[in-house]
Amino acid sequence: MGAGAQRNLRFPDLGLSRCSDRRPLLERLQRLTARVDDTVAALCSDVMDVALEGYSLVKVSGRAQGLDELRRELGSRFAKTRRKEPTPA
């Protein structure tokens, strides 16, 4: 067997070794990514809660404070969409 063929046979082993050496790093990155995703979801939920609370306050006291236009604008953002009822077959 020539030197080139021997070099090609050893190369896959080197590649597998590097791949398994990187597996712990990949697993740590995947756990970190999952934590970031959870954090973003929690933050978005908190932001939505505060926005809805603010909208509720504007609805209650906005008319007395002259905030009718703001209330209407926010109302379009928080309007509930109604689902169409499925038609019977």
pLDDT at residue number 1: 54
pLDDT at residue number 56: 84
What's this model's pTM, rounded to 2 decimal places?
0.54
pLDDT at residue number 60: 82
pLDDT at residue number 31: 97
pLDDT at residue number 29: 94
CB 78 within 8 A of CB 57: no
- Find the helix packing angle between 68-77 and 3-61, rounded to 10°: 140
Q: Which two tokens stand for residue 86?
A: 């499925």
Report, as ranges of residue numbers, the positions in the chain whose pLDDT lies below 70. Answer: 1-17, 62-63, 78-83, 86-89
